[in-house]
Structure 1
Amino acid sequence: MNQILLQEALMERLDYLEVKVAYQEDTIEKLNQILIEQQQSLELMERKMSIVSDKLKTLQTSDLPSADQIEIPPHY
């Protein structure tokens, strides 16, 4: 009788561990998919930032003086 109770307890424990592993595998897969999406989003943002940066570099400088060239009036 004691042997049967021990086997039942072990089977319950094994079932519990199998369920836990299944949930962990599902969680890992979901996290992996989120990580893939974030990586794709990051790569897209990097490409867009590179395009914006290139466009800013090619813009002609304005005819306005730079901050270093502006003289502060004497009353300041």
Structure 2
Amino acid sequence: MTNNSMKDALESLEIKLAYQEDTIEMLNLTIIQQQDKINKIEEVLRKMADKIKSMPSSEGHINEQVELPPHY
């Protein structure tokens, strides 16, 4: 390899490395954003589960003579 072709090869590798570093940084930011969304969704789900658990159970209050609406 000549000196010129080595410089070209090195420059090409440096360009590829710069693109890879940029891509890795973008992927990292995307992962951070996704984790934030997951955390928010988990919090909402936890609140919903707590709310459902705190609702009174209808099992003990079943009316055996439930009247159907007139259109049945």
TM-score range, shorter chain: 0.7 to 0.9
TM-score of the two chains, using structure 2 as the length reference? 0.80
Aligned alpha-carbon RMSD (Å): 1.4
Question: Residue 64 of structure 1: CA displacement?
Answer: 3.3
1:29 corresponds to: 25
Q: Which of 36, 40, 50 is 1:40 aligned to?
A: 36
In the alignment, structure 1 segments of 5+ residues that lack a partner are 66-76
TM-score of the two chains, using structure 1 as the length reference? 0.76
In the alignment, structure 2 segments of 5+ residues that lack a partner are 64-72
1:51 corresponds to: 47
Q: 1:39 corresponds to which letter in structure 2?
A: Q
Q: 2:36 corresponds to which letter in structure 1?
A: Q
Which consecutive segments of 4 or more residues in structure 1 shift more than 3 A?
Answer: none
Question: Residue 53 of structure 1: CA displacement?
Answer: 0.2
Q: 2:49 corresponds to which letter in structure 1?
A: S
